[in-house]
Amino acid sequence: MPEFTYEVVENVAVLSENPKGWTKELNLISWNGREPKYDIREWAPDHEKMGKGVTLSKEEMDALCEAVKKL
C-alpha cells in the first residue's frame, strides 16, 4: 500500500466520541500536499490512526449543507 501524508488544516467540529476515545470529526484536511478538502471520519485520540471516511470538495460540502437544511 503506497504511503500518504495528511495535514489537518482546520478542525471544524467533533461530532461524537465513542467509549474508547475515538472521535468522529469534520476537518479540513490536505491529503498528499493537495488543496484541503472537507473530511468526515473517526480518529484515534492521538490522530495517528483513522477509520474510513468520506472526503468532500467545497461544492459537495455546500450541497450537503443545503440537503441537511431541508431535514
The domain in which residue 29 lies consists of 6-69
Percent of the chain with pLDDT strictly greater than 70: 99
The identity of residue 21, as a single letter, is G
Residue 1 lies in a domain: no
Residue at 30: amino acid letter: S
Tell me the CATH number at 59.
Answer: 2.30.31.70
Model confidence over 24-57: pLDDT tens digits?
A: 999 999 999 999 999 999 999 999 899 999 999 9
Domains in the chain: how many in total? 1
Full-model pTM: 0.89
| CA gap 43, 31 in Å, rounded | 15
Cell of 50: 483513522
pLDDT at position 4 is: 87
pLDDT mean over 58-62:
97
**Alpha helix (H) residue ranges in the chain:** 58-69
Q: Is residue 10 part of a domain?
A: yes
Strand, coil or helix: 54: strand
Residue 2 pLDDT more than 90? no
- Under 8 Å CB-to-CB from 27, ≥6 apart: which residues? 8, 9, 10, 11, 12, 38, 39
Q: Is residue 12 part of a domain?
A: yes
